[in-house]
Amino acid sequence: MHTEPQASPASSTSQDSPASPAAQESPGSLIGTQYEVEVGPVAHGGHCVARTDEGRVLFVRHALPGERVLARVTEGGEDSRYLRADAVEILDAAKDRVEAPCPYAGPGRCGGCDWQHAKPGAQRRFKGEVIAEQLRRLAGLTPEEAGWDGTVMPAPGDKLPAGEVPAWRSRVQYAVDESGRAGLRKHRSHDVEPVDHVAENDGGVHRVHGRDFVRERADGRTYRVGMGGFWQVHPQAPQLLVEAVMQGLLPRKGETALDLYCGVGLFAGAIADRVGDNGAVLGIESGRRAVEDARHNLREFPRVRIEQGKVDQILPRTGITEADLIVLDPPRAGAGRRTVAHLASLGARRIAYVACDPAALARDLAYFQEAGYRPRTLRAFDLFPMTHHVECVAILEPAAKGS
Ligand SMILES: C[S@@+](CC[C@H](N)C(=O)[O-])C[C@H]1O[C@@H](n2cnc3c(N)ncnc32)[C@H](O)[C@@H]1O
């Protein structure tokens, strides 16, 4: 249960904390203003909703639902629809609060994690609440209607004793500040939070024909991934997602399949193994280098084809009019109405939608419903602990089948 946020304006920080340059430049800016507020529910994006006494909506980072905090505005002004703020003092802490295990976490510091200050179980609960909210608001679906049990599962090995933190980032991109110090970007900023220790592990980089690659394993296969190409960051993610997709699709010998937004061919490889020599898989991927890697990774399958280009442009040009199975794993923006309508017209018996943004997933599920597909199951995985990100796998089937 959440309490309706109540708020009372607290002191302005104009004396005890100088307003940012943006505040000085833009008239009406409220940056630096502090409000004492009661914190409401979690909203998509790694923050909680609160309301000031005057009814202004605040999206507050570093807070937890039910807490009473002093929130300092970081973005927005008198005319803004809402303000962004950081909880700079916790007046009444929630039971889910823990001390952030990372020394670089906290208001105004590294922006890489959103929930360092929450117990791992609470982090997963928050992510589940966000998924449920997006499904309800954008797709008109209850968890039951989406075939989801409402849980967000940790990756194998990530359920650790209290106080231990999963080391899940297999790759980190460091930024360098003006004085040459390596660090991590602050939240919604190009500023750098310097870090003392920067990992130097090259992660097993190989150089082939002037290009750098890493080799990754999933589903019993080795995948070559060029530097800058996409591979899931959590080391357990590729295997976990392949299993979820294959359990949902249950590919049969001789079937035809599409792997859209296929990267270096993770799902295409797993399906090709299962549909056998009489089956066929078409992958589509926009990254030229990723396409080269996918073709290399899947070269043993004569009936796997990888096309390079944007899905919405390439798919209509392929001339494909039917497919038994479809996997789509789009970037955060999702697939969109036109692509969803095209996919639904191919008559697949099952579609696996792998989604890194529950809002885009929910919107696209609404398009799929319009086009005659309904979710059969939905599973959610915490593949980005400490952040607000969450991965979902929805399996869809023609609505007529279940009705
Ligand atoms: C979330 S990744 C998924 C990759 C792959 N399925 C995997 O799990 O390793 C999305 C991929 O889509 C590609 N991409 C982004 N926009 C695209 C588009 N409009 N059409 C085709 N591919 C696109 C990206 O380059 C990236 O490789």
Of 364, 156, 157, whose CA–CA distance to 244 is shortest? 156
* 372-396 mean pLDDT: 97
Distance from chain centroid for Cα 66: 25
Q: Which two tokens stand for residue 348?
A: 């697949």
Is 329 touching ligand 1 by the criterion CB < 6 Å? yes
Residue written as tokens 């803004």?
80
- What digits encode the pLDDT tens for the residues 91-136? 999 999 999 888 888 888 777 789 999 999 999 999 999 999 999 9
- What SS3 state is found at 63? coil
Distance 274 CA to ligand 1 centre (A): 22
Which of 227, 258, 261, 392 has most ligand 1 atoms within 8 Å of its beta carbon, as the pocket-test mutant? Answer: 261
* 282-286 mean pLDDT: 98
Catalytic residue among 48, 113, 356, 392, which?
Answer: 356
Is 284 touching ligand 1 by the criterion CB < 6 Å? yes
Return the percentage of the chain with pLDDT > 70, whole number. Answer: 86
Which of 171, 230, 234 has most ligand 1 atoms within 8 Å of its beta carbon, as the pocket-test mutant? Answer: 230
Ligand 1 atom with the smallest distance to the CA of 284 is: 21
Residue 88's region, left for phi above 0, alpha for psi from -120 to 50, else beta, is alpha
User: pTM to 2 decimals?
Assistant: 0.89
Cite the beta strand spans of 296-349 per DSSP E. Answer: 304-308, 325-328
Active site residue 356: yes
- What digits encode the pLDDT tens for the residues 359-370? 999 999 999 999
Distance 349 CA to ligand 1 centre (A): 23
Which of 286, 292, 311, 340 has most ligand 1 atoms within 8 Å of its beta carbon, as the pocket-test mutant? Answer: 286
Residue 309's region, left for phi above 0, alpha for psi from -120 to 50, else beta, is left
